[in-house]
Structure 1
């Protein structure tokens, strides 16, 4: 009465095995999605820090040339950090 194809051809554990594979695949895709978002977040913060360092160097040079006052330099530095 119960032939080899009764439970999907894999015996009684065939359905459980397929469900486990599906759950693992969904988990892996979720892992990739969250890991990719974290990598993007790190890459976006790096240029900002180097950009603020460059802006601070420009402000220092402007202060040295006398283009801005010390108060203006302090305000720029406060805004950057």
Structure 2
């Protein structure tokens, strides 16, 4: 079992999770982080270019072992400018 903590970041700031969760391995924890990130995006997609949603996975020493990010970008073709 692997105990991990999740830290989330959105336009409102950073939330450092204080509850540890047990997963069979890091891949299972990443699957949960991906689901959490998708839920965050469905609740509140970033509004400005460059805004980021992220979920970081930390081990029991609170070292970050993986981070998932969604970045909102606006691109204009050069012919539209």
- Identify whether the pair has TM-score above 0.5, normalized to the shorter chain: no
If asked which structure has higher relative contact order (CA below 8 Å, sep 6+), I would say 2
Normalised TM-score (structure 1)? 0.31
Report the structure, 1 or 2, having the larger helix content.
1
Normalised TM-score (structure 2)? 0.31
Report the structure, 1 or 2, having the larger strand content.
2
Tell me which structure has the larger Cα radius of gyration. 1
